[in-house]
Amino acid sequence: MKTDFDYNSMPVSFAHCLNGHCLRADKCLRRQVTLRMPKERAAVTVINPEHIASDGGDCTYFIDEKPLLFARGMKHILDRVPLADANIIKRQMISYFGKTVYYRCCNKERLIKPKEQEYIQGLFRKRGVAGSPQFDEYIEYYDLG
């Protein structure tokens, strides 16, 4: 877990895990968030400990505590792409994300997940665009699903 972890960066509805006996507890974001819960937080969403296996082997709620590299913003992602290719790539991204999510991603209102970055990179490759797409910035964050 990041040393500068900010509990308040987690969504209010994020489910916490109380299962300290799980074999994967030390690597699970849900458990680590639970251990860092501030006393000022009066109530949280919790996963029923009886619902999940104690060995953690196939827990569907497990989230790796390691942050991933998310992109934020793509206002200028098509600036260096020939116009004909840029128009096609933009249409494909809008088709993939949907118009609202696409524009939220462009305007830094929504993070772009690593798998979504790979998809966009694939669009560039298919059009023969040299180099990787350049997003506005990158931040480390947790893959919450």
pTM, 2 dp: 0.78
DSSP string, 103-135: HHHHTTSSEE-HHHHHHHHHHHHHTT--S----
Dihedrals φ, ψ of 71, to 5°?
Answer: -95, 150
Give the span between the Cα atoms of 5 and 112, in whole angstroms.
Answer: 20
User: What's the pLDDT tens digit per position in 77-89?
Assistant: 999 999 999 999 9
pLDDT band (50, 70, 90) for residue 2: low
Write down the mean pLDDT value for the chain. Answer: 90
What 3-state class would DSSP assign to 60? Answer: coil
User: What's the pLDDT tens digit per position in 44-71?
Assistant: 999 987 776 655 567 888 899 999 999 9
Q: Is 28 exposed, middle or buried (0-12, 13-18, 19+ CB in 10 A)?
A: buried
